[in-house]
């Protein structure tokens, strides 16, 4: 049976959030039948201009009970939201099977009073402001998406793809979600509890040579990864490499490698059932105690606490 998805937009919305439409479109193509019907809806219908100036055509809000899922997108800046939009979302939270937000759309849900007593996430840059505005919510700033009952929220920008893939998986199974991810040339969706941050993005190397060394390190975390080995990967002398690496990333090679190892270990801990000692070996730590110390430095808590949190979230 086809599921009707309504995506609510408003003047000044962020057009990137509409990439979720493609996830549902590809799900239909992969299944060979209409699994999803998608409607863009707004308070009055007609053209609605995004923050980039690109307009989209919308239908007026319908009866929320007619929709399986109602999602609301975000905006590049905080806006005033109309009583009509907020009222529609309140009704949808009761009548539709699921209600959710993309990126800073969580602020719209908050204004509608839908976050109280709920776990939620949003773009990491706005998470603390969301928590401040809605103290009765439990805002988790480092999650890709969160499902709390019939309320779904996602992190910023492209995390909406992970949210949509999770909805497809929930509705029609993991295999269809995998097919969609492959066709969209994205990783099969990141787990909801996975960090919004990427160590490689945080390091931001300026040159191809330092980027090459980091890529080599990420692909060979089980090796010792000495400075000489990384310098060879960058085709630089040890002295040139060490100086350039610190100038470009602000870190020593050893600290950067530890960051990559911690990120890889956290992914394994959150998404699998490998014993902690095996995770330590697979991510290149000499022993679990060394990994524990690295986790405390990076996250303020040991691997076991992160595994417990991931299981509770699941």
Residue by residue, pLDDT tens for the chain (314 residues) are: 899 999 999 999 999 999 999 999 999 999 999 999 999 999 999 999 999 999 999 999 989 999 999 999 999 888 899 999 999 999 999 999 999 999 999 999 999 999 999 999 999 889 899 999 999 999 987 788 999 999 999 988 888 999 999 999 999 998 999 899 989 988 655 555 555 556 666 677 778 899 899 989 999 999 999 999 999 999 999 999 999 999 988 889 999 999 999 989 988 888 777 899 999 999 999 889 999 999 888 877 888 888 887 776 65
The catalytic residue among 48, 71, 103, 168 is 103
pLDDT for the residue numbered 313: 60
Query: How are strands ordered across the β-sheet holding 98-101?
Result: 46-49, 55-60, 36-42, 3-8, 69-72, 98-101, 151-154, 145-148
Number of residues assigned to the chain? 314
Residue ranges matching CATH 3.40.50.880 in the chain: 3-183
H or E element that contains 139: strand 138-139
pLDDT for the residue numbered 8: 97
**59 beta partners:** 41
Instruction: Please indicate whether residue 160 is annotated as part of the active site.
Output: no
pLDDT for the residue numbered 158: 86
CATH placement of domain 3-183: 3.40.50.880
Tokens matching residue 241: 């490499």
Q: Which residues contact 68 (CB under 8 A, 6 or more apart)?
A: 3, 4, 5, 96, 97, 98
pLDDT for the residue numbered 202: 65
Residue ranges matching CATH 1.10.10.60 in the chain: 199-313
pLDDT for the residue numbered 200: 62
Assess if CATH 3.30.420.40 describes domain 199-313. Answer: no
Tell which residue, 193, 197, 147, has the closest CA to residue 167: 147
């Amino acid at each position: 049976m086809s599921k009707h998805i309504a995506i609510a937009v408003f003047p000044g919305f962020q057009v990137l959030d509409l990439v979720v439409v493609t996830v549902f479109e590809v799900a239909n193509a992969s299944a060979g039948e209409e699994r999803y019907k998608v409607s863009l809806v707004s308070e009055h219908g007609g053209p609605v201009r995004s923050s980039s100036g690109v307009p989209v055509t919308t239908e007026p809000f319908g009866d929320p009970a007619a929709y399986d899922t109602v999602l609301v997108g975000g905006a590049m800046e905080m806006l005033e939201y109309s009583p009509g939009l907020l009222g529609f979302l309140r009704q949808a939270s009761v009548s539709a099977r699921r209600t959710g937000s993309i990126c800073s759309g969580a602020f719209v849900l908050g204004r509608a009073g839908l976050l109280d007593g709920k776990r939620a996430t949003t773009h990491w840059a706005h998470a603390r402001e969301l928590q401040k505005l809605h103290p009765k919510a439990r805002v988790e700033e480092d999650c890709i998406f969160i499902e709390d009952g019939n309320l779904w929220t996602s992190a910023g920008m492209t995390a909406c793809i992970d949210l949509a893939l999770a909805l497809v998986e929930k509705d029609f199974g993991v295999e269809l979600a995998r097919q969609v991810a492959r066709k969209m040339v994205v990783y099969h969706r990141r787990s909801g509890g996975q960090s919004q941050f990427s160590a490689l993005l945080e390091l931001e190397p300026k040159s191809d040579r330092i980027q090459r060394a980091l890529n080599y390190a990420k692909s060979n975390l089980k090796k010792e990864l000495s400075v000489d080995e990384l310098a060879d990967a960058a085709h630089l002398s040890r002295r040139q490499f060490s100086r350039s690496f610190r100038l470009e990333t602000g870190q020593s090679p050893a600290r950067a490698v530890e960051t990559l190892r911690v990120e890889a270990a956290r992914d394994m801990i959150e998404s699998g059932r490998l014993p902690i000692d095996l995770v330590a070996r697979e991510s290149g730590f000499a022993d679990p105690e060394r990994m524990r110390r690295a986790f405390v430095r990076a996250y303020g808590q040991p691997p076991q606490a992160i595994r417990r949190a991931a299981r509770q979230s699941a």
